[in-house]
């Protein structure tokens, strides 16, 4: 799925240069669940943005199924995001003026599907996350957990190859956190998704197949259930 080679990302803030990601080499296989932990400012979200084509590396290469994200023209990168990459945000990022169903539908607009098809896929996605009965509610009428379910439905409605989740439970209480992670895990298994999840929560991270730690821009794999350490 993903092959990262020597990926580095620099930001320039005034006179300061911030090394957000430095020299990351990483391979993420199809259907794998990789959790990335680390302190705030360690480069987790930056790495996720690079994987999602939301940002471009300063140096190094990121390939998704052989396509280099760093050199792809913007229009093709946008099309790739539309078809193959689902994103889940910590703050849900739902459009406040659209209902849950309409928010899910926003992910299908770039697909240029008919309205009938969009509505059908939307209903199926909401059903998968258990939110059909709240389909016509605005985000302000939904609880935090319900909003995140709607965001998960939005990420999955287009059957993406990969789902990138940035602290999906960061704004939720403990019980809801468990529900959401349980939901993500179920969908990961059922659909064979490639899931890259950023989290502070060690308990959540341990549920993944592989765990990496970002610290000062460097990624270290600390747990690899597919490739356990020798001995």
Edge-to-edge strand ranges of the sheet holding 67-68: 16-28, 2-13, 59-64, 67-68
Q: How far apart are CA 24 and CA 33, in angstroms?
A: 18
CB-CB contact of 7 with 57 (8 Å) = yes
Kindly state whether residue 6 participates in binding another protein, applying the rule CB under 8 A. no
Of 17 and 75, nearer to another protein (C-beta) is: 75
Of 92 and 188, nearer to another protein (C-beta) is: 92
Q: How far apart are CA 45 and CA 199, in angstroms?
A: 10
Residues 99-118 interacting with another protein (rule: CB under 8 A): 102, 105-107, 109-110, 115
Kindly state whether residue 143 participates in binding another protein, applying the rule CB under 8 A. no
Window contacting another protein (CB under 8 A); options: 47-55, 60-68, 191-199, 212-220: 47-55
Q: How far apart are CA 33 and CA 54, in angstroms?
A: 20
Pick one of 59, 68, 91, 202: the residue that binds another protein (CB under 8 A): 91
CB-CB contact of 24 with 84 (8 Å) = no
Of 72 and 98, nearer to another protein (C-beta) is: 98
Kindly state whether residue 83 participates in binding another protein, applying the rule CB under 8 A. yes
Q: Map tokens 């895990």 to a residue.
A: 185
Pick one of 35, 101, 153, 154: the residue that binds another protein (CB under 8 A): 154
Beta bridge partners of residue 63, listed in sequence order: 3, 68
Q: How far apart are CA 58 and CA 51, in angstroms?
A: 13
Kindly state whether residue 161 participates in binding another protein, applying the rule CB under 8 A. no
Kindly state whether residue 96 participates in binding another protein, applying the rule CB under 8 A. yes
By CB under 8 A, name the binding residues for another protein: 45-46, 49, 52, 54-55, 74-75, 78-83, 85, 87, 89-91, 93, 95-98, 102, 105-107, 109-110, 115, 154
């Amino acid at each position: 799925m993903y092959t990262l080679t020597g990926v580095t990302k620099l930001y320039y803030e005034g006179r300061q240069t911030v090394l957000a990601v430095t020299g990351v080499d990483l391979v993420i296989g199809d259907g794998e669940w990789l959790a990335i932990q680390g302190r705030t400012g360690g480069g987790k979200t930056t790495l996720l943005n690079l994987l999602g084509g939301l940002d471009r590396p300063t140096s190094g290469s990121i390939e998704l199924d052989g396509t280099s994200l760093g050199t792809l023209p913007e229009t093709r990168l946008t099309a790739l995001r539309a078809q193959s990459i689902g994103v889940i945000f910590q703050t849900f990022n739902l459009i406040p003026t659209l209902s849950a169903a309409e928010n899910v539908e926003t992910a299908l607009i770039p697909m240029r599907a008919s309205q009938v098809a969009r509505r059908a896929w939307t209903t199926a996605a909401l059903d998968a996350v258990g939110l059909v009965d709240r389909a016509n509610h605005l985000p302000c009428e939904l609880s935090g957990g319900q909003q995140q379910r709607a965001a998960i439905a939005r990420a999955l409605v287009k059957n993406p190859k990969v789902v990138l989740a940035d602290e999906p439970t960061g704004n939720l209480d403990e019980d809801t956190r468990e529900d959401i992670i349980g939901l993500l895990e179920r969908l990961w298994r059922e659909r064979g998704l490639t899931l890259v999840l950023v989290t502070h929560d060690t308990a959540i991270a341990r549920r993944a197949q592989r765990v990496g730690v970002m610290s000062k821009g460097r990624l270290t794999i600390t747990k690899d259930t597919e490739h356990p350490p020798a001995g």
